[in-house]
């Protein structure tokens, strides 16, 4: 998802007109009505201004500004709880004493609430100086984090305070990294790139037997141990939608001779290159910016359709509209990426090769996709399922009984589908 075209935010301060470039990772246009506020504004006042569509340029203490946004979030939550309670009361089925809310309805409601909350809290904005300076009391030095997220500055810029908080949090993860036990290494995600914090899908790739054409009789590595090279010399794999490059690195550590990793997100391409270089694997990997499958000219300079012995894809798991580049790693409108992966797989497999589809069945439990539809898509592409390896999610939300989607999340299974040509 490309950044929103540059626009300008304007306001009046101390009797004079002022302006700056406006930036929003969520493609929110520049606010038209802006007032300048400081520490004397209460959360109730800010909440009302935001609901009216008025943006607030924060000039007070940095930490007070963050607390103001948190307080606005609590007010939004209470408002949502009251609305949900009224809706459930109206939809209550008196005949059997149960609510008629479906999992699909709950998911849609939760997505709307998340978008509404982000939109409302995004009305508190801050101004970054020409070098990404943040001229607020008790403000941290944010310039390095902003450069890592946005590149070099080109003048004063305004962003929402919630977006800046996300930039700062992402930068800490970029510096610290995420431990990946299956790889035995640390992966460093960038801002706007999906982090491999859900390790079960990495474990699936670590313990699934390689195609027989690559490693006949090869032992399956334990997910907590760095695998020994076992694949055939000259073997090639594609890692579609590589993100941080974690699966590309794992495939190389398993002995695949060469991996071509793709991603449509330029930040992910840069992030994957950094991680593979840090692990000393960049000489065996090629990371290209592409919409799913690599083009021939991008792989070896040929116009032929590039093929691989193994094609791995971990598409977004939920068919819904993303609101940012980061969410594009989770939400996929109409399962477009999934469908294009399956449709394009036969043309990109070497004889005896396999496609590995890594996907959760949460969408099925939410009523957003059916197992029958997935199997029909696989068969329609001329593919056969030769195996399916399942694992249970380990993330905290799967055990959170307070989550509105708990009934679906508690039954979620993440699977690696091994696919071959029929």
Return the CA Rg of the chain. 24
In this structure, the dihedral spanned by the alpha carbons of residues 259, 318, 74 and 137, taken in order and rounded to 10 degrees, is 30
pLDDT class of 324 with cuts at 50, 70, 90: confident
Specify the pLDDT at position 35. Answer: 98
Instruction: Answer yes or no: is pLDDT of 216 > 70.
Output: no
Per-position DSSP letters for 38-53, written without gaps between them:
-TT--HHHHHHHHHTT
3-state secondary structure (DSSP) of residue 142:
coil
Per residue in 218-248, pLDDT (tens digit) is 433 444 444 444 445 579 999 999 999 999 9
Coil, strand, or helix at residue 90? Answer: helix
Q: What was the pLDDT predicted at 99?
A: 42
**Per-residue confidence (pLDDT) for residue 236, from 0 to 100:** 95
CB atoms within 10 A of CB 257: 17
268 touches 314 (CB < 8 A): no
Q: What is the DSSP string of 288-312?
A: EE-SSSPPGGGSTT--SPP-EEEEE
Q: Tens digit of pLDDT for each residue in 249-284?
A: 999 999 999 999 999 999 999 999 999 999 999 999
Three-class SS state of 54: coil
Q: Is the pLDDT of residue 145 over 90?
A: yes
- pLDDT tens, 374-416? 999 999 999 999 999 999 887 666 666 766 666 777 889 999 9
Quick one: average pLDDT of 50-74?
Answer: 98
Task: For residue 30, report the phi and psi dihedrals to the nearest 5 degrees.
Answer: -60, 135
Q: What pLDDT shows up at residue 327?
A: 82
What whole-number percentage of the chain has pLDDT above 90?
A: 72
Q: For 5-14, 24-33, 229-238, 360-369, which range has the lowest pLDDT when averaged over its residues?
A: 229-238
Structure pTM? 0.86
Residue 9 pLDDT > 90: yes
Residue 322: per-residue pLDDT: 83
- 208 with 389: CB under 8 angstroms? yes
Which domains does the chain show, CATH number per domain?
7-173 (no CATH), 178-421 (3.40.50.150)
């Amino acid at each position: 998802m490309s950044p929103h075209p540059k626009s300008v935010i304007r306001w009046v301060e101390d009797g004079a007109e002022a302006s700056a470039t406006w930036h929003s990772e969520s493609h929110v246009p520049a606010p038209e009505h802006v007032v300048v506020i400081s520490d004397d504004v209460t959360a109730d006042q800010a909440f009302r201004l935001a609901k009216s569509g008025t943006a607030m340029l924060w000039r007070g203490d940095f930490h007070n500004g963050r607390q103001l946004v948190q307080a606005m979030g609590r007010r939004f939550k209470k408002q949502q709880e009251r609305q949900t309670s009224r809706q459930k009361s109206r939809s209550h089925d008196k005949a059997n004493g149960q609510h008629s809310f479906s999992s699909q309805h709950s998911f849609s409601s939760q997505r709307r609430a998340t978008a509404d909350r982000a939109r409302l809290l995004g009305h508190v904005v801050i101004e970054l100086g020409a070098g990404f300076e943040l001229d607020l009391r008790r403000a941290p030095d944010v310039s390095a984090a902003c450069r890592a997220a946005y590149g070099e500055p080109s003048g004063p810029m305004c962003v929402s305070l919630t977006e800046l908080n996300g930039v700062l949090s992402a930068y800490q993860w970029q510096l610290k990294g995420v431990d990946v036990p299956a790889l035995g290494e640390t992966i460093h995600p960038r801002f706007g790139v999906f982090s491999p914090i859900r390790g079960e899908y990495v474990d699936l790739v670590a313990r699934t037997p390689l195609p027989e054409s690559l490693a006949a009789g090869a032992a399956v590595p334990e997910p907590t141990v760095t695998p020994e090279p076992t694949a055939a010399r000259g073997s090639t794999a594609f890692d579609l939608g590589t993100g941080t490059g974690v699966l590309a690195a794992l495939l190389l550590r398993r002995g695949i001779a060469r991996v071509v990793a793709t991603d449509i997100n330029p930040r992910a391409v840069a992030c994957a290159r950094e991680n593979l270089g840090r692990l000393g694997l960049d000489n065996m990997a090629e990371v290209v910016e592409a919409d799913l499958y690599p083009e021939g000219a991008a792989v070896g300079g040929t116009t032929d359709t590039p093929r691989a012995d193994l094609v791995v894809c971990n598409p977004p798991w939920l068919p819904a509209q993303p609101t940012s580049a980061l969410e594009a790693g989770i939400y996929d409108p109409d399962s477009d990426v999934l469908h294009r992966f399956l449709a394009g797989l036969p043309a990109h497999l070497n004889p005896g090769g396999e496609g590995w589809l890594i996907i959760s069945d949460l969408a099925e439990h939410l009523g957003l996709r059916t197992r029958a539809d997935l199997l029909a898509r696989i068969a329609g592409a001329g593919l056969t399922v030769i195996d399916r390896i399942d694992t249970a999610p380990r993330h905290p939300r799967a055990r959170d009984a307070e989550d509105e989607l708990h009934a679906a999340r508690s039954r979620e299974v993440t699977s690696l589908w091994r696919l071959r040509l029929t």
